[in-house]
Structure 1
Amino acid sequence: MGRKGPLSEGLISGSVGLISRVAIQLCLLAVTLTATRFLAISQFGIYSIAAALMFLSRNLFYVGPYEYLLKTPAHPGLKGACLKANLGLAIVAAMLLLLFVSVSELIFGSQDLPFVLVRLVPTLFLSAVTAWYEAVLLRDQAIRRYYLFTVIGEIFGAGVAIAFFYYGFELQSLIAQTYTRLGILLLLYLLSTRVEGWRNGSRADVRKVLDWSLSRLGAVFLNFSANYGADFVLGIVLSPAATGLYRASNRIVSSISDLFAQPLQKIVQTNLSARSSKGLQPDHSWIAMLTAVASIGWAALLGLAVSAKQVVPFVLGPAWEKAAPVVMVFCAARALSLIDAATTSLLVCCDRQKFMLKVQTSVAFLVPFTSLGLSLVMPHDSALAPTVVAIAYFMIMSALTIAYCREAARLSSASAREVLWALLISAVPGGFVAVTLVLLEMSHFGRGLEQRLFVPVAVALSAVALGAGLLVIRKRLMTSIHSLGYVRLAGEEA
């Protein structure tokens, strides 16, 4: 009685997630753009390496115990065991990070990196607790509160970072941003969320959580190698400037793709975990959820790829013009992340960690070693190296996406035709946007526009083309939106 229909719930959940990610990505983008203006390309490379290492460390708390807490039927020691497991991981991560600090100056030839990392180590314990709170909220389906708190933390963190950059603190801005964001987030959780049983959890409970998490924790390091291995290789073999060019391009594209991939992952993870906790098998809903989000996300990425030569210098500044071809390649690579966001959530809910680990091991080996081989044959000052490495990364990640997608289809009894048709439908709005922008660049009107005018005109025309594309697939799109907010469980009335 009184429950909103699936379409209403889907619109609300999807809109809240998208709006929240827009706000979060705008904050991250603002910090990135500010950093490119106040840091040299080599400094931005050091900034990127430090951020990558903190991403690796913090990500330990968002798999394993986090996922275990989401999917496991409730029992008295569950929440406490997961919290203790996260804190134990924080101790291990801090020790490993300090060990890396001791050799980082020798590897990268810079004192800036150890300076930043030592000051960020204590934030690991803040991350361990906030990640646990997040899992508690998502388990209780309090998705809107989770997004609200996350946005507030990101806004405060970004504001402090930008202020620090303007006052000349350079790399210390990263430190200020991290402490501010996590501090605000933890305060909001403590003031608003009362959690029963956080002191519970025997050693046996904690050991069970960690045993289940082992392969997922290994996947964190493998994913890091796949996603950041090239950054480190470029920084070590060539220069931090090559890392800066590569990572800035990735960051710009990620700021768009993550608007869609992260809400999609949370929605799929939450809905399928709800089914799993009740002992139900996955259905085809992951395909519908993917279609609803990818139809817009891919259009944005295609638009950026087509207009990268105009957009990149406009956004990052003339000094970053060489990043345009790298951005184009990353648009294709990050388009795959939307498919992965849906399939990985399904695979985790089906306890397919070992399968994922095998695939991730292959990718984690191929990315850095391929990057190493390509970097060694490139001239030391070659601006082409980041582009070539990005192309290799895209080809390797394509194989991972295909493997995950085939396994997800098998587990949910979905046919290859059904999956491919959903992907083609999702690409229709992007095709409209790409054709529109190509025609703009080829036209006499487009060629006559200055760069500062071309970008807003391109954005306006892309919005019109996107609307036309969505109109073409409107029936399939509305059906897909149903799945974003509510997954019908067995025994419920239609």
Structure 2
Amino acid sequence: MSVGHRFIRGVAWMAAGGWTEQAINFVVFVTMAKLLGPELYGLLSMAAVFIVLAEALVRESVSEYLIAARDPQPEDYNATFWLTAALGLVLALLLWALAGPIAALYGHPIVAGLIRGLSVTVLMIAFTAVPVAILRREFNFRVLSLRAIAGVVVGGATGIAMALAGWGVWSFVGQWIAMIATNVVMAWTAVEWRPGLRLGWPHLRRAGAFGAQVLGLRMAELAVVQMPTLLIGATLGPLATGLYSVSWRLVETLTFLISTPLRMVSQPAFAAVAREGGRAGELLLDIARLTGVVAFPFFVGLAVVAEPALRLFFGTEWLGAAPVLSVLAFLGLYFAIALVQQSFCLAAGRAGAITLLTWANVALGAVLMLGAARWGLVAITAAFVAAHYLLWPLRYRLVARIGGMDAAPLVNCNIVPALATAVMAGAVILVHRALAAAPLGLDLALSILAGIVVFAALTLLLMRDRLSLALSYIRPAAPGGEAA
């Protein structure tokens, strides 16, 4: 099976798993929120922010070395496993030690127990990072998708059962641990590799050096995400922070559903093409052409319908978030394309270059947002998004240099989708205005339908080559024929 075909199958599995996982998560969240109420959920949120940060640092950091490595030896797998386990242990112990001071800062002693109870998940994720990397390297995304779905099912059932039995806030802890434990079991049972003690200093040095660079990248990504909330809270207060947080949560969820399958699958695909002697840059260009057909209408459409969507699903009291959501939608568009470029750099073993660029994003974003604070929430949000777009040309240049290619095709392939999306957005606005007197649900549904029809027609008219490209990847290569 060609790399291209494995890429499409992997994206399909990850997309199906991600959408199913989020749907189940939503049902579980609503059920447990009704059973336990906002106060207990707030206590969990106080503890969860630190757990999520620590989990993110071990989930995809040192283990990324195994995907980029051309021909990893058993010693490389062992070195990566023990380095990741050590990182997880350090972070878990740090959480345990800081739990008391954090709880004192919040003024709720129970938060310390929640942090200590959940800190075990950081170590669990560290122990399963290598099996997950092996599954990604082997394009076994079917297992990864089923693993994610099984985790939310088992975790959700555990949490709801504990809530009904009167465990209170500890029901969230039980849900979390059961979900991660299910993920661990399914990952380890899907791979034959087991850790050993045979390793040497060169293997530790290579895995550690690459892992340190990726760890710096993950820290920069976390800083980028958390920085707007901190600055808005410090300069504009709780109301603006709440409006921004809801908008970001919506964009983050939709970005996860669109970008995560592409990011997770493209990295091993780029590495596989390089190992087979092909040009990973050509695959990057193909993915960029296909991504534009999906990302542009999805996120620009979100920007256009932000106001009626918030009015329908959240109520009029949240309408202040509409312009924020419209601006942040363009950040979702950026991530859909830029995260694939980032995966290209990681697959090429160039984690250091993309890490420096991400930290530059943090610095520029902070300067621009502080300067825009005097003009309010929308201005701060626009400054945050602008920082990413201003540095995007440097990312294009970096990717082109790594791929030994010209940056122009990577940029130009977005022109036609962007124009088609502009026409689509105009059609949606016209339909929405024409249906101003109609029920809001009908108005939103018909506006979205009009956008879909217009963009689909323009795709058939202007982007048939991209449909043919997608079909060439979907169809398996003929026996004895050339791979896609």
TM range (shorter): 0.7 to 0.9
Change (3 A) 1:326 1:78: same
- 8 Å CA contact 1:25–1:258 kept in 2: the answer is no
Look up the equivalent residue of 1:15 and give its one-letter code: A
> C-alpha deviations, 1:381-431, integer Å up to 9, x for none?
xxx53x333222101121343321221123223334312221123335533
1:474 aligns with 2:471: no
Q: CA shift at 1:31, angstroms?
A: 6.0
Q: What amino acid maps onto 2:464 in structure 1? A: R
1:285 to 1:145, Cα distance in 2 relative to 1, 3 A: same
Give the one of 59, 63, 66 matched to 1:66.
63
- Specify whether residues 255 and 37 from structure 1 end up closer, same or farther in structure 2 by C-alpha distance, changes over 3 A only: farther
Q: CA 1:77/1:9 → structure 2, altered by over 3 Å: closer, same or farther? A: closer
Q: Which of 170, 183, 186 is residue 185 of structure 1 equivalent to?
A: 183
Do the aligned partners of 1:59 and 1:220 also contact (CA within 8 Å) in 2? yes
The answer (yes or no) to whether the contact 1:6–1:485 under 8 Å persists in 2 is no
User: Does the 8 Å CA contact 1:285/1:483 hold for their aligned counterparts?
Assistant: no
Output the CA distance in 2 between the equivalents of 1:388 and 1:106: 35
SS at match of 2:281: coil
SS in 1 for 2:193: coil
Q: What is the correspondence of 1:27-38 to structure 2 with a 5 Å cutoff?
A: 27-30=24-27
Q: CA deviation at 1:166?
A: 9.1
Q: Structure 2 stretches of 5 or more lacking a match?
A: none
Does 2:395 align with 1:404? yes
Output one character per residue of 1:348-387: Cα deviation in whole Å (capped at 9) or x when no partner: 2223222222212222234346555656x58xxxxx53x3
CA shift in 2, pair 1:128/1:310, >3 Å: same
2:439 match: 450
Is the 1:43–1:244 contact (alpha carbons within 8 Å) kept by the matching residues of 2? Answer: no
Q: Distance in 1 between matches of 2:13 and 2:395?
A: 28
Preserved contact between residue 71 and residue 273 of structure 1 (Cα < 8 Å): yes
Q: Which of residues 341, 347, 350 is equivalent to 1:349?
A: 347
Question: What are the superposed Cα offsets for residues 279-315 of structure 1, whole Å, 9 maximum, x if unpaired?
Answer: 6653221121122133113212112111111112323
In the aligned structure 2, how far is the partner of 1:167 from the partner of 1:485? 51
Number of aligned pairs? 479
Moved more, 430-439 or 130-139: 430-439
Question: What is the CA-CA distance between 1:49 and the residue it aligns to?
Answer: 6.3
Q: Is the 8 A contact 1:70 1:270 kept in 2?
A: yes
Supply the distance in 2 between the matched residues of 1:311 and 1:221 (Cα, whole angstroms).
33
Who is 1:415 aligned against? 406
> Shift of the alpha carbon at 1:139?
1.7
**CA contact 1:313–1:321 (8 Å) conserved in 2:** yes
Measured on the aligned residues, the alpha-carbon RMSD in Å equals: 3.6
Counterpart amino acid of residue 20 in structure 1 = G
Is contact 2:10–2:139 with CA below 8 Å preserved after alignment? no
Matches within 5 A, 1:170-209: 174-198=172-196, 200-202=198-200, 205-209=203-207
* Aligned position for 2:243: 245
Match of 1:367 in 2: 365
Q: 1:256 to 1:173 in 2, by over 3 A?
A: farther
Q: How does 1:218-257 map to 2 (within 5 A)?
A: 218-235=216-233, 242-257=240-255
> Which stretch of structure 1 is more off in the superposition, 335-344 or 93-102?
93-102
Identity %: 20
Cα separation, 1, equivalents of 2:303 and 2:468: 27
Any residues of structure 2 matched to 1:109-128 within 5 Å, and which?
A: 114=112, 116-128=114-126
Q: Distance in 1 between matches of 2:231 and 2:32?
A: 22
* Contact 1:301–1:332 under 8 Å retained in 2: yes
1:97-176 correspondence to structure 2 within 5 Å: 97-98=95-96, 100-104=98-102, 114=112, 116-158=114-156, 174-176=172-174
Query: 1:178 and 1:129, CA in 2 relative to 1: closer, same or farther beyond 3 A?
Result: same
1:293 and 2:291 equivalent?
Answer: yes
5+ long unaligned stretches in structure 1: 379-383
Choose from 16, 19, 26 the match for 1:19: 16
Q: Is the 8 A contact 1:78 1:200 kept in 2?
A: no
Letter in 2 for 1:218: G
Q: 1:462 aligns with which of 441, 451, 465?
A: 451
Match runs of 1:300-315 below 5 Å: 300-315=298-313
Q: When the two structures are superposed, what TM-score results if normalisation uses the length of structure 1?
A: 0.83
Inter-partner Cα distance in structure 2 for 1:304 and 1:453: 17
CA drift of 1:197 comes to 4.7
Query: Which deviates more from structure 2 when the two are superposed, residues 282-291 or residues 337-346?
Result: 282-291
Q: 2:383 aligns with which of 352, 377, 392?
A: 392
Looking at structure 2, the residues matched to 270 and 213 of structure 1 have their Cα atoms a distance apart, in angstroms, of 16
Matches of 2:45 and 2:382 in 1, distance apart?
Answer: 20
Could you tell me which amino acid in structure 1 is paired with residue 413 of structure 2? A
Q: 2:428·2:448 contact (CA, 8 Å) conserved in 1? A: no
Amino acid at match of 2:445: P
CA contact (8 A) 1:81 1:201 kept: yes
- Please state whether the residue corresponding to 1:284 is helix, strand or coil: helix
Shift of 1:225: 0.8
Range with greater deviation from structure 2 (338-347 or 52-61): 52-61
On the 8 A contact 2:65/2:211 being kept in 1, the answer is: yes
CA distance in 2, matches of 1:207, 1:82: 10
**C-alpha deviation, 1:71, in angstroms:** 2.0
| Residue in 2 that maps onto 1:431 | 422
Distance 2:146 2:156 in 1: 15
- Aligned equivalents of 2:379, 2:170: Cα separation in 1: 32
Q: CA deviation at 1:69?
A: 1.2
d(CA) in 1 for partners of 2:36, 2:397: 43
Conservation of the 8 A alpha-carbon contact between 2:100 and 2:109: no
Larger mean Cα displacement after TM superposition, 60-69 or 264-273? 60-69
